[in-house]
């Protein structure tokens, strides 16, 4: 009887922790990435530090230098980032005033960024 209770407790604990925060799991896939926007609205590269695991896509810390640091959503399956144009850069600059592009649209498409290359 005692071994049955211990077995059930171990099984329950394994089910609760399965996939939660493991590298490569959906929990470690970020929903946003850091984007640096300069005064004209152009995208500049962010200097970021990442965990040592190649399977974990989270950004630990990012710097933008003189550019504005903005959180942008990662494009979902079937979506791709907008093409860079002067009109898009002006719209992105206006949308980024609050520090985030999450939920912002341009030409009825989200202002998303591609996932990080591994």
pLDDT recorded at residue 22: 44
Per the structure, the count of domains in the chain is 1
Look up the pTM and report it. Answer: 0.66
Q: How far is Cα 98 from Cα 101, in angstroms, rounded to an integer?
A: 8
Q: Which two tokens stand for residue 36?
A: 């640096």
Q: What is the extent of the structural domain holding 75?
A: 28-110
In this structure, is residue 89 part of a structural domain?
yes
In this structure, is residue 16 part of a structural domain?
no
In this structure, is residue 2 part of a structural domain?
no
pLDDT recorded at residue 57: 67
In this structure, is residue 101 part of a structural domain?
yes
Contact 71, 100 (CB under 8 A): yes
Per-residue pLDDT tens, the chain, 118 aa: give them.
555 444 444 444 444 444 444 444 444 566 888 999 998 889 998 898 877 777 776 777 889 989 999 999 999 888 899 999 999 999 999 999 999 999 999 999 999 998 877 5
In this structure, is residue 38 part of a structural domain?
yes
Residue 107, Ramachandran bin (φ over 0: left; ψ between -120 and 50: alpha; else beta)? left
In this structure, is residue 66 part of a structural domain?
yes
Please report, for residues 18, 27, 31, 59, 91, the alpha-carbon distance to residue 82 in angstroms, rounded to integers and kept in the order given.
Answer: 36, 26, 17, 22, 11
In this structure, is residue 19 part of a structural domain?
no
In this structure, is residue 11 part of a structural domain?
no
Sequence-separated (6 or more) residues with CB below 8 Å from residue 22? 28
pLDDT recorded at residue 115: 83
Please report, for residues 19, 20, 22, 25, 50, the alpha-carbon distance to residue 53 in angstroms, rounded to integers and kept in the order given.
Answer: 16, 16, 10, 12, 8
């Amino acid at each position: 009887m005692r071994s049955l209770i211990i077995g059930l407790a171990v099984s329950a604990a394994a089910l609760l922790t399965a996939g939660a925060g493991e590298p490569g799991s959906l929990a470690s896939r970020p929903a946003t990435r850091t984007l640096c926007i300069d005064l004209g609205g152009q995208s500049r590269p962010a200097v970021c530090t990442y965990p040592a695991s190649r399977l974990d896509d989270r950004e630990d810390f990012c710097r933008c230098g003189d550019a504005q640091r903005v959180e942008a959503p990662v494009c979902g399956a079937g979506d791709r980032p907008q093409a860079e144009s002067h009109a898009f850069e002006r719209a992105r600059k206006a949308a980024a005033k609050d520090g985030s592009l999450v939920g912002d649209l341009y030409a009825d498409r989200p202002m998303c960024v591609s996932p990080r290359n591994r």
